[in-house]
Amino acid sequence: MPKPIVSELIELLRLERLEDNLFRGQSRDIGTRYVFGGQVLGQALSAAQQTVDPERHAHSLHAYFLRAGDVEAPIVYNVERTRDGSSFSVRRVTAIQHGQTILNMTASFHVPEAGATHQFPMPLVPMPEDLPDRLVVPAEDLDKVPAMRRRWLSNEGPFEFRHVHPRNEANPTKQPPYQNVWFRLADRAPDSEVLHRSLLAYASDFHLIGTTTFAHAISYLQPNVQMASLDHALWFHRPFRADEWLLYACDSPSAQGSRGLARGMIFTRDGTLVASTAQEGLIRVVEGKE
């Protein structure tokens, strides 16, 4: 029996089917006022997949976060069956809450087939069991964090993380804009490729845009820093399990105009590249606000 926190996430990703192309999802309180963006991504992908031939696997999704989601209200997912070709299917998903669109997503699905194969190598990093399980903010620095953020930091999540080069988010210093983070679901999940892709969509929203702050010695925990995901792209390359250790290798090639771009590659522990990501986010430092 999976841990309750893992069972809850799996149930959230299954969704309630209201009509052929209409689904309803609930939200998980992660300790903030708003719905976690990765949850909406995972649910939108789950809704799209349920309207596609199960032999066709998701290979990419592109989404725009339009409004913050209300954690207290359900989210309705409307799926448009844009195209079903001989080997590809495309779906457009609109996530709706309180009568307004909070996310638009397009996802593409492909019949598995053979072809040319290559990949970048995995960075040379320690294995997850060789890294300590550290807190994002050391216990002695928690009193520096606003009360609302402390609630989020103390909330148990369905994924566990091991940072290769951990950073104290309560006292950030300037460093190159890249990071490597091992992550996995906190317990075993059912053997479903569809479920594991939705779980990865959920987890892919962690750490990515935060990488853009490294070069500027700022943190999402600071009250004068406003951060929000604007868009998100995810490509699935090869099979994987979200309940086994995966390495998230993230970098940020540019930040400008209060926006930052981050990219990520996700590897299995044997060095297989299974997914790639990209995300642009708002990074706004509000002058005079401490």
- DSSP H helical ranges for 120-174: 147-153
Cα radius of gyration (the chain): 19
What residue type is assigned to position 29 of the chain?
D
Sequence-ordered list of residues with C-beta below 8 angstroms from that of 182, at least 6 positions apart, any chain: 127, 128, 131, 161, 162, 163, 164, 245, 246, 247, 248
Active site residue 119: no
* The residue to which tokens 């479903």 are assigned: 192
Across the beta sheet with 100-110, the strand order is 16-19, 22-25, 75-84, 88-97, 100-110, 57-65, 225-236, 273-285, 259-268, 246-256, 178-185, 159-163
Which residues, including other chains, have CB under 8 Å from residue 282's CB and lie 6 or more apart? 226, 227, 228, 229, 230, 258, 259
| Catalytic annotation, pick one of 50, 108, 204, 279 | 279
Based on the residue annotation, tell me whether 279 is a catalytic residue of this protein.
yes
Contact 275, 266 (CB under 8 A): yes
Which residue in 267, 282, 269 sits closest to 120, CA to CA? 267
Which residue in the list 39, 46, 49, 229 is annotated as catalytic?
229
**C-alpha distances in angstroms, 288 versus 218, 253, 254, 283?**
15, 28, 25, 16
Would residue 205 show up in a list of annotated catalytic residues for this protein? yes
Out of 27, 46, 205, 222, the active site residue is 205
Query: Catalytic residue numbers?
Result: 205, 229, 279
